[in-house]
Amino acid sequence: MSTMGRLPKVLYGMTSGIARILIAMNDISHLRKSYEKGELDETHSAGAPLAQFRQWFDEALAAKLAEPNAMTLATVGADGRPSSRVVLIKNFDERGIVWFTNYDSRKGRELAANPFAALLFHWIELERVVRIEGRVAQLESAESDAYFHSRPLDSRLGAWASPQSQVIASRAVLVANAAKAAAQHGLNPKRPPHWGGYRLVPDCWEFWQGRRSRLHDRLRYRLEGGTWVRERLAP
């Protein structure tokens, strides 16, 4: 006879109830919410995607969201295997979307092999998502230099200290590298040749606004013959 079978009926009922609660808590298939904070239609959206993005980005800033500048960057290596990570947007204008990183990192190597990427902003508090796709190229050295020298000293030294995406023995390696960089470069380190900016030139944007009953609004802007075509996608 099992241990459960020897329990008094009252305790057995309590145990069964706890088990059901634990099962319910771990059943993530029931996690869902109703999206009711906004709408996005052709009448009230911008005719060009950059203007629409600027409006939404300004609204994310005004809402004081946690890191509204955080975006997921997806790349694909020469082996066809995708990868993604979160980076910070540092500028955007008619030329494209800019971020900075280590050129020798996994994303840098993948962009060297396949210079196309996708970006995603998820402003969950506003129930909004922005997707951007396009070709990527490294920034000119002068632009990377200007941004690098605007960074805090610790961040500049960190660019020298971290062999990003490489296997290291322990955190002590980073600490030792940072100390070595500080001793070598002092208070005015130059930009490492392996560190700089990228710009994604968009050829496709999508703006997603959550709606009730999963009937979400999706507006896509795609570049066709030098003109942006706006179209609605089914959710």
Q: Are 6 and 15 in contact (CB under 8 A)?
A: no
214 is catalytic: yes
Q: Per the residue annotation, which of 20, 85, 95, 214 is the catalytic one? A: 214
Catalytic residue IDs: 214
